[in-house]
Amino acid sequence: MSLSFELLGSDGLARRGRIATAHGTVETPAFMPVGTAGTVKAMLPQSVAETGAEIVLGNTFHLMLRPGAERVAFRSPVDGTQHRLTPERSIEIQNLLDADITMSFDECTTWPVEEPAAASSMRLSMKWAERGKRAFAERPGYGLFGIVQGSIFPALREESVNSLTAIGFDGYAIGGLAVGEGQPLMFATLDRTAPMLPRDRPRYLMGVGRPADIVGAVARGIDMFDCVMPTRAGRTAQAFTRRGELNLRNARHRDDPRPIDERCACPACKSHSRAYLHHLIRAEEILASMLLTWHNLHYYQDLMRGLRGAIESNSLGHWIAAFQGEQDLGDIPPL
The predicted pLDDT at position 265 comes to: 97
Can you say how many angstroms the Cα of residue 282 is from the centroid of all Cα atoms in its chain? 30
Q: How confident is residue 329, by pLDDT bands cut at 50, 70 and 90?
A: confident
Q: How confident is residue 259, by pLDDT bands cut at 50, 70 and 90?
A: very high
Q: How confident is residue 78, by pLDDT bands cut at 50, 70 and 90?
A: low
Q: What is the mean pLDDT of residues 105-119?
A: 97
Q: What is the mean pLDDT of residues 118-142?
A: 98
Summarised one tens digit per residue, pLDDT across range 19-41 is 999 999 999 999 999 998 889 99
Asked if the peptide bond before residue 140 counts as cis, ω within 30 degrees of 0, the response is: no
* Three-state DSSP string of 107-157: CCCCCCCCHHHHHHHHHHHHHHHHHHHHHCCCCCCCEEEEEECCCCCHHHH
Summarised one tens digit per residue, pLDDT across range 150-188 is 999 999 999 999 999 999 999 999 999 999 999 999 999
Is residue 74 predicted with pLDDT exceeding 50? Answer: no
Domain residues of the chain, as ranges?
A: 4-23+58-71+83-227, 229-335
Summarised one tens digit per residue, pLDDT across range 267-313 is 999 999 999 999 999 999 999 999 999 999 999 999 999 999 999 99
Paired sense of beta strands 4-11 and 14-21, if any: antiparallel
- pTM metric for this prediction: 0.94
Multiple choice CATH, 4-23+58-71+83-227, 3.20.20.105, 2.60.34.10, 3.20.20.30, 3.40.50.720: 3.20.20.105
The predicted pLDDT at position 69 comes to: 58
